[in-house]
């Protein structure tokens, strides 16, 4: 990437234009396998696929706003305890390219 930037700057300089490089501010990244508690509402339960659709609030540790999305569950048995419309808390994580939900608890 540095070589490409150098080549582009050299080319631009040869053309008589002053290059301006902008670098994005780097943020320290949290490990994506870290799980944190999130609140949400069950929209769909797919026992066969082991997935659940949840309308969730912000997932701060992933810098993700609230939205509705599909999660794979770590333990399919958890899906038998929930149903559409349940308000829940769960642990959200990202592992091996999948968004995961674990420890799904129905709120009283």
103: in domain:
yes
Window from 4-8, 62-66, 78-82 with minimum mean pLDDT: 4-8
27: in domain:
no
CATH number of the domain at 75, please. 2.40.50.320
Look at residue 6 in the predicted model and tell me its pLDDT. Answer: 57
Reported pTM: 0.67
Residue range 33-48, pLDDT digits in tens: 455 789 999 999 999 9
Q: Is the pLDDT of residue 22 over 60?
A: no
DSSP H helices, 1-108, are: 2-14
Cα gap 105→54, rounded to integer Å: 13
Look at residue 36 in the predicted model and tell me its pLDDT. Answer: 76
Which residue's structure tokens are 């333990």?
Answer: 75
Q: Is 95 helix (H, G, I), strand (E, B) or coil?
A: strand
Question: Quick check: 101 and 94 in contact, CB under 8 A?
Answer: no
- Domain residue limits at 71: 36-108
Q: Is the pLDDT of residue 91 over 50?
A: yes
What percent of the chain stands above pLDDT 70? Answer: 68
Cα gap 23→63, rounded to integer Å: 20
């Amino acid at each position: 990437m540095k070589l490409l930037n150098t080549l582009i700057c050299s080319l631009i300089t040869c053309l008589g234009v002053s290059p301006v490089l902008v670098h994005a501010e780097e943020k320290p990244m949290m490990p994506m396998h870290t799980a944190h508690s999130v609140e949400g509402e069950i929209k769909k339960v797919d026992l066969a696929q082991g997935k659940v659709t949840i309308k969730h609030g912000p997932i701060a540790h992933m810098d993700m706003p609230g939205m509705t999305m599909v999660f794979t569950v770590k333990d399919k048995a958890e899906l038998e305890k929930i149903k559409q419309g349940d308000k829940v808390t769960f642990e959200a994580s990202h592992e091996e390219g999948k968004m995961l939900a674990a420890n799904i608890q129905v709120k009283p």
